[in-house]
Amino acid sequence: MTKGDLGHKDWKEADLVISKDDESFNNLFSKIEEKLQIKNYEEPGLFSTRDLDLIDKLLDLLLKIKDDFKEEHSYDLMTIAIQEAYHLIKLLSGKEYNPDDIYDQVFSSFCVGK
């Protein structure tokens, strides 16, 4: 809940965030990590069914690329598939993300307002 400096309201599971106070933001980020069950950013691992879906898509795509290579299909078409596989790998590793996925996850668990 914003405007934490104006006083406390009795809201269950509400966190006060004061824009001038870094500690209140750190507390909010900790709550988000807890809610999303993120334990350690350093350790690789699967955190959601979304990750499993991405791995399934990646596997299917890599098998298709392998078959296309065996059948000597156009390198241009294989390049497009390889770029898509690279994109999926970046999504899985956290090097690239879809902002809509993050918004959906955050807004499904929190009420964020002005």
Q: What is the per-residue pLDDT across 3-57, written as a single tens digit (0 to 9) for each?
A: 554 555 555 555 555 556 666 566 766 777 776 666 555 555 556 788 888 889 9
- What ranges in 1-114 are assigned the alpha helix state H? 22-35, 49-70, 75-93, 99-109
Residue 86 confidence class, pLDDT cut points 50, 70, 90: confident
Is 19 in the same domain as 60? Answer: no
Q: Are 11 and 5 in contact (CB under 8 A)?
A: no
pLDDT at 1: 44
Give the span between the Cα atoms of 111 and 22, in whole angstroms. 20
Q: Is the pTM above the cut of 0.85? A: no
Give the span between the Cα atoms of 101 and 104, in whole angstroms. 5
Is 3 in the same domain as 23? Answer: yes
Is 69 in the same domain as 104? Answer: yes
User: Structural domain tally of the chain?
Assistant: 2
Per-residue pLDDT for 91 more than 60? yes
Is 5 in the same domain as 58? Answer: no
Q: From 94, 72, 96, select the one nearest 83 (Cα to Cα).
A: 96
Is 57 in the same domain as 82? Answer: yes
Domain membership of residue 56 as a residue range? 44-114
* Backbone phi and psi for residue 17, each to the nearest 5 degrees, phi listed first: -125, 120
Is 61 in the same domain as 27? Answer: no
pLDDT at 79: 85
Is 64 in the same domain as 24? Answer: no
Is 59 in the same domain as 114? Answer: yes
Other beta carbons less than 10 A from residue 27's beta carbon: 14
Tokens encoding 90 = 């970046």
Q: HSE of 92 in the Cβ direction (CA atoms, 13 Å)?
A: 19
